[in-house]
Amino acid sequence: MEWYIYPLVVFAGAVAGFINTLAGSGSAITLGVLLLLGLPADVANGTNRVGVVALGLGSMTALDKKLVRGLLTKGRYIILTTFIGALVGALVVVEINEAALEKVIGGLMIVLLFVVLFNPKRWLQDSTQALMRPTLLNVLLFFAVGFYGGFIQMGFGIFFLAAAVLVARYSLIDANIIKIVVTFLFAIPVLGIFIWYGDVQWELGLMLAVGQFVGGWLAARYALGHPQANVWIRRLLVVMIAVVIVKIFFM
């Protein structure tokens, strides 16, 4: 590879890591870069997971451990169902072409964009009304979100935050912290599945990992705790959803 590819991939990883920690869909950047560098879609999908593992590690090292433990105790069913769904999704995607699914996801992103734009109060609530006990709807919903995360990853953060905030009634900040933890937990075995099937290009994957670790750490350390974090995360969600819609339908 040309010398400039290395800093480009690291930089893309850092930007994606920062965006993923605060909202989601940073993988739209990293997957786009990997595809532009000529990787097949299945290998790009697997290679991207190396950076996702590093992103989770970087983000978690910067989080308040006491706060994380409290949220994980309350949201055990969310973590478990999302984790199982991710493993199933990864096992399915190594056998299936994802082109048709992208169009479906694009349609869902359009719906989500309207939800985020026109229901701001629900996005800015606190967690006092969070549903601590699982319902059948919540279990099925978080399994489906996890399945998607294992299948593609791009956009997982947006779907997870929508489910956690609009259905399980967590605040956006608390939902984001749970998202960071559960993504890290399922990213490790999912990466193992892609490695088993030979869908990882390690040189690019490790460069992404360096960038995503740094970006995730910076976002978790300096941005998540800001008093206006809920507001800015919601705004970032709007931007990232729009970017994903453009990428799926017009690029």
Tens digit of each residue's pLDDT (9 = 90 or more) over 55-90: 888 888 777 677 677 777 777 888 889 999 999 999
Q: Tokens 């800001």 belong to which residue?
A: 226
d(CA 11, CA 6): 9
Angstrom distances, CA of residue 24 to CA of 1, 92, 195: 29, 22, 24
Q: Cα(138)–Cα(232) distance, rounded to whole angstroms?
A: 26
Which is higher by pLDDT, 83 or 120? 83
Q: pLDDT tens, 187-199?
A: 999 999 999 999 9
pLDDT at 19: 79
- Write the pLDDT tens digit of every residue in 200-243: 999 999 999 999 999 888 887 776 666 666 666 667 667 777 87
pLDDT tens digits along 140-177: 999 999 998 998 887 788 888 888 888 888 887 888 88
What are the φ/ψ torsions at residue 63 (nearest 5 degrees)? -85, 155
**For residue 123, is pLDDT > 70?**
no
More confident residue, 18 or 66: 18
Kindly state the tokens that stand for 248: 């799926």
Decide: 183 and 156 in contact? Cβ < 8 Å: yes
CA distances from 124 to 4, 91, 106, 179, 204 (A): 41, 36, 25, 17, 38
Residue 53 has pLDDT above 80, yes or no: yes
Average pLDDT in the 10-37 region?
81
Alpha carbon 130 to its chain centroid, in Å, reads 21
CA pair distance 22, 50, nearest whole angstrom: 19
- Rounded Cα distance between 82 and 33, Å, is 27
